[in-house]
């Protein structure tokens, strides 16, 4: 068991554990914190996969932005005392069944179509290549994504303004 | 002449060869040498706030025409140690309706990222613990993690004022992160790299090569970065989330003893981190104000960082506190457009100068 | 650490996110499970990029777009939740 494989197994165990807390916890705040943990670990996984810019972007955008926003909404809407009922509805068992089937199907397909040889991990910095990609081949999607973000910004500001009497 | 990098590198190389000779693999030898370096860095980061707290009390005292702590130890040097011991022995009170796990966890989330942030910073020539290729982005990303800790701290106190303080602090920190990151983009454009050691080395050769000396762009970027860092670390004049006279100390009202000490420690560690970043990015961290010279690079770095920390202390005891809506409008309506204009100006400058 | 390891992890994460989306009562819980789904897809893209095409960073570009779009979607979803709960 090499060092990188051991680190990967540790990451995988913590990610799966954190995801289970996210979907099963009774307290919405606790599942939000567990989601923060999962997102930080996924950023670490991106680092393991030699995508260092992505790791930093994931931490900056997801954890530092989206998650803080979610925590705000949770804090503004819910008081700390009403979190004690069950958070899973009646469809839980069929949902578990369906997600189990999906996972099994995906894993079987992966085994069937892939070789399991391990290529060497390259250590080249990827940020410059990513920048060239965004400015070259992916220029139009880049601009479209900025328009989508602008639309989301305007929409969120409009939707969450207070009613004028 | 007194460069620390050369004897340190010799020491760690000999350590690694000795470990390999004892039968460890090269990877394990490398990992253990990095572990030692990390432990030393963490120990230094833990001890920096002790010095800074004492320094702040003395300097603020001098600015207010008094002397400050003089009782404990000669000139009050042991004052911080006495305060730390007092906080260590205080009882840890968790309020009744609070989430006990969250109460402890929020302290950890708020305090832990600051240690990670010190890894890519070059403390001199070749003295970065981990010279990451995306160093500066990593530092910003990790320092944004402590926002969640502050929100949790406010929530876990089960106290309306603390929750309000937590929300305000998080809103302020998230808002001021944007001009902070955007004001560094001109530096990244001028240096063409995200590696902090390379950015520091690109400023070699005297004071005119520092990025703060680039006409208009450098000074503007430095000022925006400084103001945003003061706001990001929740210091006066952007102090409202932890205002002692307004919200009964805000989000850390219900924390006592060691937890309060850890919040305090994290705040001063962030102040030093912002100063170290400003030094590396704008003031040529490690390089002197003339090319060559015999003063070692780590001394220059510490000297400049302490100068910026002095600026932080000076701001605190000079300016009055900003109201929260003025604070937010200052960020979104003034600093953010200014940093965007700065990026455009840098692009014009780069094209005009014909840099690669 | 082979491609298979990472893909199995992303499949398991996807399944857990799917379970959460279908079975949580709270709208905010559903939005959080949706973030898990997005992250599983992003891990998938990054893994394929690293193991099969290490000289092109195409997968990483995809992951950036996934992060951006997921952020936009979460923002709109949370604004809608705020509007919904304010009218109760």
- Determine the Cα–Cα distance for residues B150 and B161; give it in Å rounded to an integer: 13
Contacts with B331 (C-beta within 8 Å, 6 or more apart), sequence order: B175, B176, B178, B179, B228, B231
Two tokens at A53?
């810019």
**Shortest Cα–Cα distance, A77 to chain C (Å):** 7
Cis amide linkage into residue B237, ω under 30° from 0: yes
Residue with the bigger pLDDT between C54 and C7: it is: C7
CA dist., res. A137 & res. A127, Å (int): 15
User: Among residues B321, B347, B308, which one has the least CA distance to residue B55?
Assistant: B308
Residue B30: predicted pLDDT: 82
Q: How far is residue B203's CA from residue B191's CA, in Å, rounded to a whole number?
A: 9
In whole angstroms, what is the distance from residue B323 CA to residue A77 CA?
Answer: 25
Contact A88 C63 (CB under 8 A): no
Nearest by Cα to B118 from B275, B13, B299: B275
Touching A (3+ Cβ pairs <8 A), the chains are B, C
Read off the pLDDT of each residue in A116-131 and give the average, rounded to a whole number. 67
Query: C39 and A48 in contact by Cβ < 8 A?
Result: no
Q: How confident is the model at residue A52 (pLDDT cuts 50, 70, 90)?
A: confident
Q: Does C have 3 or more CB contacts under 8 Å with A?
A: yes
B168 vs A contacts (CB less than 8 Å): none
Chain segment B189-238, per-residue pLDDT in tens: 998 888 999 998 888 877 888 888 888 889 999 999 999 999 888 877 77
Helices B297-316 & B217-232, crossing angle to 10 degrees? 60
What is the reported pLDDT for B228?
A: 93
B320 touches chain A (CB under 8 A): no
Q: Does B110 touch chain A (CB under 8 A)?
A: no
- Answer for the pair B350, B196: CB distance below 8 angstroms, yes or no: no
Identify the domain containing residue B338 by its residue range: 5-353
User: What is the Cα Rg of chain B in Å?
Assistant: 21
Longest Cα separation, chain A = 67
CB atoms within 10 A of CB B62: 12
Contacts 24+ apart (CB under 8 A), B348-352: B349/B214, B349/B217, B350/B189, B350/B190
Sign of dihedral through CA atoms A68, A73, A74, A75? Answer: positive
Residue A118 has pLDDT above 60, yes or no: no
H helices then E strands: how many in chain B? Answer: 14, 0
Contact exists between C and B (3 or more beta carbon pairs < 8 Å): no
**Cα dihedral A51, A55, A61, A63 sign:** positive
> CA A53, B231, B95, B163 torsion: positive or negative?
negative
Is the CB of B199 inside 8 Å of chain A's CB atoms?
Answer: no
Q: For residue A8, give the nearest of C1, C51, C58 by CB distance.
A: C1
Contacts with A73 from chain B: Cβ below 8 Å: none
Can you give the residue ranges of every domain in chain A?
1-79, 125-165
Instruction: Check which CATH number belongs to the domain holding C66 and give it.
Output: 1.10.287.3510
For the record, the structure tokens of C73 come out as 């979607």
Q: Which residues of A touch B (CB under 8 A)?
A: 3, 27, 29-30, 33, 36, 40, 43, 52-53, 55-57, 59-60, 63-65, 67-68, 71-72, 75-76, 80-81, 125, 127
The closest alpha carbon to A87, from B98, C29, C21, belongs to C29
- What is d(CA B314, CA C35) in angstroms, rounded to the nearest whole number? 44
Question: What pLDDT does A121 receive?
Answer: 57
CB–CB of B127/B298 below 8 Å? yes
Highest mean pLDDT among A108-117, B59-68, B236-245, C49-58: B59-68
Output A127 or B278, whichever has higher pLDDT.
B278
- Containing structural domain, residue C24: 3-86
pLDDT of C50 strictly over 60: yes
Report for A44-58, A62-76, B127-141, B336-350: range of highest mean pLDDT: B336-350
- What is the average pLDDT value for chain A, to the nearest integer? 83
SS3 call for B203: coil
> What is A1-79's CATH topology?
1.20.120
Per-residue pLDDT 10s for chain B (356 aa) are 567 777 787 888 888 888 778 777 777 788 888 888 889 888 988 888 888 888 888 888 888 888 888 877 787 778 888 888 888 888 777 777 777 888 888 889 988 899 889 989 998 887 888 888 888 999 999 888 988 888 888 888 777 777 777 788 888 889 999 999 999 999 999 988 889 999 988 888 778 888 888 888 899 999 999 999 998 888 777 776 666 555 555 666 677 778 888 888 888 999 999 999 999 999 988 887 776 677 888 888 999 999 999 999 998 888 888 887 888 899 999 999 999 999 999 999 999 887 65
Distance from CA of A90 to the nearest CA of B (A): 28
Phi, psi of B323 (to 5 degrees): -75, 155
Q: What is the pLDDT of residue B74?
A: 80
Q: Decide if A65 contacts A153 (C-beta within 8 A).
A: no
Number of domains composing chain B: 1
- Percent of chain A predicted with pLDDT > 70: 83
Tell me which chain B residue has its CA closest to the CA of residue A67.
B148
Residue B123: its H or E element? none
Taking alpha carbons only, the member of C68, C63, C74 closest to residue A148 is: C68
B160-189 in b/e form (b: 16+ CB < 10 A) is ebbbbbbbbbbbbbbbbbbbbbbbbbbbbe
Contact B198, B128 (CB under 8 A): no
Neighbours of B113 (CB within 10 A): 24
| Residue C38 backbone dihedrals phi, psi, to 5 degrees | -60, -40
Chain A residues in contact with C70 (beta carbon < 8 A): 62, 66
Find the angle CA(B193)-CA(B199)-CA(B201) to the nearest 5 degrees: 130
Interface contact flag, A68 B27, Cβ < 8 Å: no
**CB B306: neighbour CB atoms within 10 A?**
16
Chain C nearest CA to A89, separation (Å): 5
Give residue-wise pLDDT tens across range B267-305. 899 999 999 999 999 998 888 777 667 788 888 899 999
C19 and A23 within 8 Å at the Cβ level: the answer is: yes
pLDDT band at A38 (very low <50, low <70, confident <90, very high): very high
Distance from the A129 Cα atom to the nearest Cα atom in chain B, whole angstroms: 13
Which residue, among B30, B35, B141, would best test binding to A if mutated, counting the most A CBs under 10 Å from its CB? B141
Beta bridge partners of C24: A88
Chain-chain contact of B99 with A27 (C-beta, under 8 angstroms): yes
Q: What is the C-alpha separation between B348 and B36, in angstroms, rounded?
A: 45
Are C40 and C10 a contacting pair, CB within 8 Å? yes
Give alpha helix (H) positions in B192-209: 196-201
Give the alpha-carbon dihedral of A133, A135, A137, A141, to 10 degrees. Answer: 110
Beta bridge partners of A88: C24
Chain A contact probe: residue of C67, C70, C80 with most A CBs at under 10 A: C67
Give the pLDDT of residue A17: 95
Domains: count for chain C? 1
Which residues numbered 128-157 in A keep a CB inside 8 Å of some CB on C?
129-130, 133-134, 137-138, 141, 145, 148-149, 151-153, 155-156
pLDDT of the residue at B271: 92
């Amino acid at each position: 068991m090499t060092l990188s494989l051991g680190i990967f197994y540790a990451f995988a165990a913590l990610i799966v554990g954190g995801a289970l807390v996210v979907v099963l916890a009774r307290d919405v705040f606790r599942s939000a914190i567990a989601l923060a943990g999962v997102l930080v670990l996924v950023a670490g996984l991106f680092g393991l996969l030699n995508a260092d810019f992505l790791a930093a972007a994931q931490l900056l955008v997801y954890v530092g932005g989206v998650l803080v926003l979610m925590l705000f909404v949770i804090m503004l809407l819910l008081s700390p005392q009403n979190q004690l009922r069950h958070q899973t509805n009646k469809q839980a068992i069929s949902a578990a069944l369906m997600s189990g089937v999906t996972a099994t199907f995906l894993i079987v397909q992966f085994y069937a179509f892939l070789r399991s040889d391990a290529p060497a991990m390259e250590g080249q910095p990827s940020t410059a290549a990513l920048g060239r990609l965004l400015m070259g081949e992916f220029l139009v999607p880049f601009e479209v994504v900025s328009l989508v973000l602008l639309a989301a910004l305007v929409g969120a500001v409009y939707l969450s303004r207070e009613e004028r009497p | 002449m007194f460069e620390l990098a050369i004897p340190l590198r010799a020491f760690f190389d000999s350590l690694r060869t000795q470990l390999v000779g004892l039968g460890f693999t090269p990877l394990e030898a490398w990992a253990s040498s990095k572990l030692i370096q990390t432990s030393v860095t963490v120990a230094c980061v833990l001890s920096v706030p002790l010095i800074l707290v004492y320094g702040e009390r003395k300097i603020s005292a001098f600015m207010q025409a008094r002397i400050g702590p003089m009782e404990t130890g000669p000139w009050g040097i042991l004052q911080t140690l006495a305060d730390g011991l007092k906080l260590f022995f205080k009882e840890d009170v968790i309020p009744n309706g609070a989430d006990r796990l969250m109460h402890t966890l929020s302290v950890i989330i708020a305090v832990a990222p600051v240690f990670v942030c010190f890894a890519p910073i070059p403390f001199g020539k070749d003295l970065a613990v981990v010279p990451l290729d995306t160093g500066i982005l990593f530092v910003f990303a990790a320092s944004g993690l402590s926002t969640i800790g502050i929100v949790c701290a406010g929530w876990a106190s089960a106290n309306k004022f603390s929750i309000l303080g937590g929300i305000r602090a998080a809103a302020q920190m998230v808002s001021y992160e944007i001009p902070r990151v955007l004001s560094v983009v001109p530096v990244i454009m001028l240096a063409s790299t995200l590696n902090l050691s390379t950015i520091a080395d690109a400023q070699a050769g005297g004071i005119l090569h520092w990025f703060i000396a680039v006409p208009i762009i450098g000074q503007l970027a430095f000022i925006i970065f400084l103001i945003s860092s003061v706001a990001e670390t929740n210091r006066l004049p952007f102090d409202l989330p932890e205002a002692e006279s307004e919200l009964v100390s805000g989000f850390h009202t219900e924390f006592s003893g060691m937890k309060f000490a850890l919040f305090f420690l994290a705040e001063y560690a962030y102040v030093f981190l912002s100063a170290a970043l400003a030094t590396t990015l704008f003031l040529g961290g490690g390089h002197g104000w003339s090319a060559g010279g015999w003063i070692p690079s780590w001394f220059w770095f510490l000297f400049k960082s302490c100068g910026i920390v002095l600026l932080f202390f000076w701001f605190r005891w000079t300016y009055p506190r900003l109201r929260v809506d003025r604070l937010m409008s200052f960020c979104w309506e003034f600093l953010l457009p200014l940093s965007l204009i700065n990026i455009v100006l840098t692009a014009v400058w780069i094209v005009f100068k014909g840099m690669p | 650490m082979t491609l298979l390891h990472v893909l199995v992890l992303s499949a398991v994460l996807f399944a857990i996110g799917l379970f959460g989306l279908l079975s949580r009562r709270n709208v905010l819980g559903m939005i959080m499970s949706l973030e898990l789904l997005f992250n599983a897809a992003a891990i998938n893209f990054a893994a394929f990029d690293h193991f099969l095409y290490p000289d092109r960073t195409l997968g990483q570009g995809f992951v950036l777009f996934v992060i951006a779009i997921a952020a936009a979607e979460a923002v709109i979803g949370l604004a809608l939740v705020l509007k919904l709960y304010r009218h109760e």
